[in-house]
Structure 1
Amino acid sequence: MLPPGKIPPEKLREIVFNRLGAPGERVIAKSDLGVDATAIDFGSSVLVASTDPITGAEEKIGFYAVHINANDVATFGAKPKWFLVSILLPENSDDALLVKIMDELHESASKLGVAIVGGHTEVTPGLDRPIVAGTMLGEVPKEKLVTSNGAKPGDAIILTKWAGLEGTAIIASERGKELEKAFGKEFVEKAQSLIEMISVVEDALTANEIGVNAMHDPTEGGVANGLHEMADAAKLGFRVYAERIPIRKETLKICEFYDLNPLALISSGALMIAAPKEKADSIISALKRKGINASVIGEFLEDKESRVMVDNGKEKPLERPESDELWKVV
């Protein structure tokens, strides 16, 4: 039985990655663990494409669909430009639901300068909530392309914003009444507002101007899974330090309330960057000038079997989450 969320890595290797059709002669970045987009050679420029569905949220689903897909494209150093979207609605849906989703898609895409260029819309039997699946296309000069598997041993691991950012906002929206009783309305509204920080497009394009080796958007499974995915892609290990990983107080309180691990909570809005150590300070300074907080949380290691977190001076293995903590509460 497969668990909710992303298919486990061993199943991807066994079932998915050996059934990918014809070889792509111009494909620069092929499907692999930790690789969230593809890059296709168009001469002096590279087309970057990524696809993702939104299945864990009903509120602001169109907003999520645009930003989650734009984030994956931006981690390759590309500016998101074109979006295709499939909207699947439950039976008995009315016009108002479709209007709401389309308004969210239109507003979010407009803010990023993205054109919605196609897709599909239908009412689908068997659904209990809408699902929106998108494909984002972007473009980058070949010399500025970054791939997910480019991390090098000794690279600094930089994290922007905070771990568990998206999960905090989703839980605060989906379980708002319950959380208001525990923490008050102001707390819940602040937690919900964190969703406005979900885009990493500016984070990624800013860091790429300084020079990075790899970038990754830690979505399902949070920062913990994101570290493993990035290490998988580069065939490396890592060492991170618990006290350096930034987590907002709203996230900590919500995770304590529901007994969740904030490091395994979906973290769109945070960006994971692998960069030469000598460039780390410049990247962090450039991000801070844009109002984006960032921290060095560890480094990549040559030994791919060594994947550890240092907590209170003690080193222990950082386990890969089996599924995202979000599924426990929504």
Structure 2
Amino acid sequence: MKDNKNNSILLSHGDGGVKTGRLISEIIGPALKNNILDRLEDSAIIPCRGAKAAFTTDSFVVSPLFFPGGDIGKLCVCGTINDLVTSGCRPAALSLSFIIEEGLDINVFKKVLESIKNTLEEAGEGIKIVTGDTKVVEKGNADKLFINTSGIGFIEDGPGISPSNIKEGDNIIINGNIADHGICILNCRQEFGFKADIKSDCAPLNSLVKDIKDAAGSGLHALRDATRGGLARVLIELSGSSKMNFDIYQDKIPIQRQTRGICEFLGMDPLYIANEGKMVVFAEEKNSIRILDAMKKNRYGKHSAIIGRVKGIKDKNRNASVTLITELGTKRVLDLHYSEQLPRIC
């Protein structure tokens, strides 16, 4: 890779920033190139004997394994379901594979399994674990427990949901407070001694997306869950793939006071900090209030807000961009970060 003189994988290649993008575009993408993978969406839609199926995969290496609001078991279920529903599908089944470090307390493993079961029940809709695998490696060759999941869902009749459908004039909506998950993990690691009571936002968002679809009709254009790299990464990626400019209003972005305070103290930008229960919605302006009302009635969307607008492209010779309108009224173009703020947050 052009930015890596040592020719080795760095922590920053896994944080959702510039180096992650280059790892995908320069190494992984060319090696595995095909017309479905090239779209780089959270779940791939594939033909399935006349129907359409959505398929996704993810791996989880969070440290610590347990944290306020969740654990690696809850995280793996929520992360996979949330990736699936960004395509508008109904999640059906998940695979579940463990890589376990020799010496892991069996009671810890049982606790993770119980959390997986409880999260599937929370998600509902009959979603099941239908296949899996377990490997144990020598002590020191992994850190306690890693999980890989894949998920499949089915696309029901209705308008397509894809970044390619984003249109000028769309409103941009998010379902609540940003940056809680990343700051929760940081706080759990006790690197700075904060006594803040911040919980991860980890949640399965399939019921929220169903409510959004029911309220939106044909006015829903795109969905994306804001995980690694935070809200900023999602906006920058979708601006690029849709070739549209976005204006985002800082004073409209929901964030808890404690989370904001820790970010300011550490000099961290909450826009770039991971979430595990946040969905970014692109919808026609005329349907936005109805969608917003539906989101606020869902348990996972009580603090939903319209945070921006799709502006379109004025100069086709320039790349699309995301502009943050700050609380002072100044403007800042958002760029992907080159180095990690928080490794192993999911």
TM bin, normalised by shorter chain, reads 0.7 to 0.9
Compute the RMSD of aligned alpha carbons: 2.4
Equivalent position of 1:38 in the other structure: 44
Question: 1:172/1:203 Cα in 2 relative to 1: closer, same or farther (>3 Å)?
Answer: farther
Give the 5 Å matches for 1:268-283: 268-283=276-291
Equivalent position of 1:121 in the other structure: 134
User: How much has 1:176 moved relative to structure 2?
Assistant: 9.2
Alignment of 1:13 with 2:25, yes or no, is yes
Secondary structure of the 1:219 match is coil
Give the 5 Å matches for 1:229-248: 229-248=237-256
| 1:15-68 deviation digits (Å, cap 9, x = unpaired) | 2222226x57xxxx54434x1110112355321111111123311101100001
Equivalent position of 2:341 in the other structure: 325
- Which ranges of structure 1 fall in alignment gaps of 5 or more residues? 181-186
| 1:233-267 deviation digits (Å, cap 9, x = unpaired) | 32222111111111111311332343321111002
Q: Percent of aligned pairs with the same residue?
A: 23
Q: 1:296 aligned to 306, 322, 331, which one?
A: 306
Greater displacement, 308-317 / 213-222: 308-317
Alignment of 1:201 with 2:206, yes or no, is yes
Tell me, yes or no, if the aligned pair for 1:240 and 1:299 is still in contact at 8 Å. yes
Greater displacement, 255-264 / 110-119: 255-264
Secondary structure of the 1:18 match is helix
User: How much has 1:118 moved relative to structure 2?
Assistant: 0.9
Equivalent position of 1:92 in the other structure: 103
Tell me the matched-pair count: 314
Instruction: Work out the CA distance in 2 between the residues paired with 1:249 and 1:283.
Output: 26
Q: 1:135 aligned to 150, 172, 177, which one?
A: 150
Instruction: Work out the CA distance in 2 between the residues paired with 1:328 and 1:85.
Output: 19
> What amino acid maps onto 1:235 in structure 2?
K
Equivalent position of 1:53 in the other structure: 59
Question: 1:329/1:289 Cα in 2 relative to 1: closer, same or farther (>3 Å)?
Answer: closer
Secondary structure of the 2:31 match is coil
Instruction: Work out the CA distance in 1 between the residues paired with 2:37 and 2:158.
Output: 18
Query: TM-score by structure 2 length?
Result: 0.83
Give the 5 Å matches for 1:211-222: 211-222=219-230
Equivalent position of 1:306 in the other structure: 321
Greater displacement, 248-257 / 47-56: 248-257
Q: 2:83 aligned to 69, 72, 80, which one?
A: 72
Tell me, yes or no, if the aligned pair for 1:212 and 1:275 is still in contact at 8 Å. yes
Tell me, yes or no, if the aligned pair for 1:78 and 1:205 is still in contact at 8 Å. no
User: How much has 1:208 moved relative to structure 2?
Assistant: 1.8
Equivalent position of 2:117 in the other structure: 106
Instruction: Work out the CA distance in 2 between the residues paired with 1:117 and 1:233.
Output: 34
Tell me, yes or no, if the aligned pair for 1:220 and 1:323 is still in contact at 8 Å. no
Instruction: Work out the CA distance in 2 between the residues paired with 1:153 and 1:71.
Output: 26
Q: Which structure dedicates a bigger proportion of its chain to helix?
A: 1
Equivalent position of 1:254 in the other structure: 262
Query: TM-score by structure 1 length?
Result: 0.86
Tell me, yes or no, if the aligned pair for 2:13 and 2:20 is still in contact at 8 Å. no
Tell me, yes or no, if the aligned pair for 2:243 and 2:320 is still in contact at 8 Å. no
Tell me, yes or no, if the aligned pair for 1:213 and 1:276 is still in contact at 8 Å. yes
Question: 1:31/1:108 Cα in 2 relative to 1: closer, same or farther (>3 Å)?
Answer: farther
Greater displacement, 41-50 / 127-136: 41-50
Secondary structure of the 1:141 match is coil
- Which ranges of structure 2 fall in alignment gaps of 5 or more residues? 5-9, 314-318
| 1:91-148 deviation digits (Å, cap 9, x = unpaired) | 2223223212211212212222320011111112411232111112112214244224
Tell me, yes or no, if the aligned pair for 2:222 and 2:282 is still in contact at 8 Å. yes
Equivalent position of 2:316 in the other structure: none
Tell me, yes or no, if the aligned pair for 1:86 and 1:121 is still in contact at 8 Å. yes
Q: 2:176 aligned to 150, 153, 161, which one?
A: 161
> What amino acid maps onto 2:324 in structure 1?
M
Instruction: Work out the CA distance in 2 between the residues paired with 1:145 and 1:42.
Output: 16
User: How much has 1:177 moved relative to structure 2?
Assistant: 9.2
Instruction: Work out the CA distance in 1 between the residues paired with 2:280 and 2:345.
Output: 26
